[in-house]
Amino acid sequence: MIRSVLAITDIRPAYTALLAGRYDLHRFDLIKDAEAFLNETGDKITAVVTSARFGLSVELMDRLPNLEVITSFGVGHDLIDLEACRARGIRVSTTPDILTDDVADTAIMLMHAALRNLVKGDDWARSGKWSANGPMALTRSVRGKKLGIVGLGRIGQAIASRAEPSGLEIGYFGRNPKPVDYQFFDDLVELARWADILMLSCPGGAATQGIINADVLSALGADGFVINIARGSVVDEPALIDALQNNVIAGAGLDVFYNEPHMDRAFAALDNVVLYPHHASGTVETRDAMAQLVVDNLNAWDERAELITPVA
């Protein structure tokens, strides 16, 4: 049974209120003296609510000796050390599946926005450049392009199933081939050489840190695009900025960055990149469903020591 819950962040006000109605809820983000709080209350905390964005540091976890469960808002768990959790018998849940459609839709949206130059087109119409200068420059067609998906998990497959009817040929890179009809690549440079558009939809964390490096970007080439809805850490960001500045690749559509929300300002100066503020799952419908699943996981643990969507 759970009594005291530590919330690292507000998941959504109505759902945080639900938690506060049922549990003794402490908001870590609102606590002024964290040290005093942890000394006094750390051993009473049996559950943590967090998010993919904030995770839970091992240092903080170590201050919660009776922690049983972590329920996280979001599908990524790169900021929670699952090995450390397993070693301590701490169970962890995330919110998979319910965000897949919105994230895949965002990936497709960024792909179209990058190739068709949506943001520049909006400015062209809005600012009067259209009436002053005539038509804007031609853009690139999506149909007929080769889409190289890095990570064909749930989200990667949802992207592929949207891209196929738009006339894209699909190839993918992953740890192992999957039972699908798409071409498998076990080498990222080979995938990049084959692809016109590199779509990043793999998990973050140590295993994928910086795998999209200068070699991969130069293999993608001057007509190639990078779309990233995975994690900023997957890309060698200075190499990506350099590739965009020097036309090593044609452009990018990016939802994720190294240092969020303090994105490298070099991106803002580039006109061959479409930027989105890590908001692929940011719809009312999906965020409500994610918050509800966080609450449901916590209640399931409280009532029957079970998690609905465990990852550890």
Query: Interface with ligand 8YV by CB under 6 A: which residues?
Result: 51-53, 73-76, 99, 281
| Joined tokens for residue 51 | 């998010």
Nearer to ligand 8YV (CB atom), residue 74 or residue 253: 74
- As a whole number of angstroms, the longest Cα–Cα distance in the chain is 68
Nearer to ligand 8YV (CB atom), residue 103 or residue 111: 103
Q: What is the 3-state secondary structure (H, E, C) of 239-276?
A: HHHHHHHCCCCCEEEECCCCCCCCCCHHHHHCCCEEEC
Q: Residue 79 CB, nearest distance to ligand 8YV (Å)?
A: 9
77 an active-site residue? Answer: no
Contact 158, 109 (CB under 8 A): no
| Joined tokens for residue 259 | 């240092």
Cα-based distances in Å from 123 to 141, 227, 277: 20, 21, 19
* CA 134 to the chain's CA centroid: 38
Q: Residue 75 CB, nearest distance to ligand 8YV (Å)?
A: 4
Q: Which residues have a Cβ under 8 Å from the Cβ of 46 and sit 6 or more positions away?
A: 2, 3, 4, 5, 66, 67, 68, 69
35 an active-site residue? Answer: no
Contact 224, 199 (CB under 8 A): no
Q: Name the catalytic one among 35, 40, 260, 306.
A: 260
Q: Name the catalytic one among 63, 77, 231, 287.
A: 231
Q: Residue 217 CB, nearest distance to ligand 8YV (Å)?
A: 23
- Residue 185 CA to residue 148 CA, distance in Å, equals 9
Which residue in this structure is represented by tokens 């973050």? 204
Nearer to ligand 8YV (CB atom), residue 70 or residue 115: 70
- Residue 61 CA to residue 111 CA, distance in Å, equals 39
Nearer to ligand 8YV (CB atom), residue 219 or residue 226: 226
Nearer to ligand 8YV (CB atom), residue 117 or residue 201: 201
Q: Residue 307 CB, nearest distance to ligand 8YV (Å)?
A: 17
Q: Residue 42 CB, nearest distance to ligand 8YV (Å)?
A: 24
Nearer to ligand 8YV (CB atom), residue 53 or residue 116: 53
116 an active-site residue? Answer: no
| Joined tokens for residue 9 | 């962040």
* CA 218 to the chain's CA centroid: 24
Q: How many residues does the chain have?
A: 312
- Residue 277 CA to residue 80 CA, distance in Å, equals 22
Q: State the angle between helix axes of 284-304 and 100-115 in degrees (0 to 180), rounded to the nearest 10.
A: 150
Q: Residue 144 CB, nearest distance to ligand 8YV (Å)?
A: 31
For the annotated catalytic residues, the residue numbers are 231, 260, 278
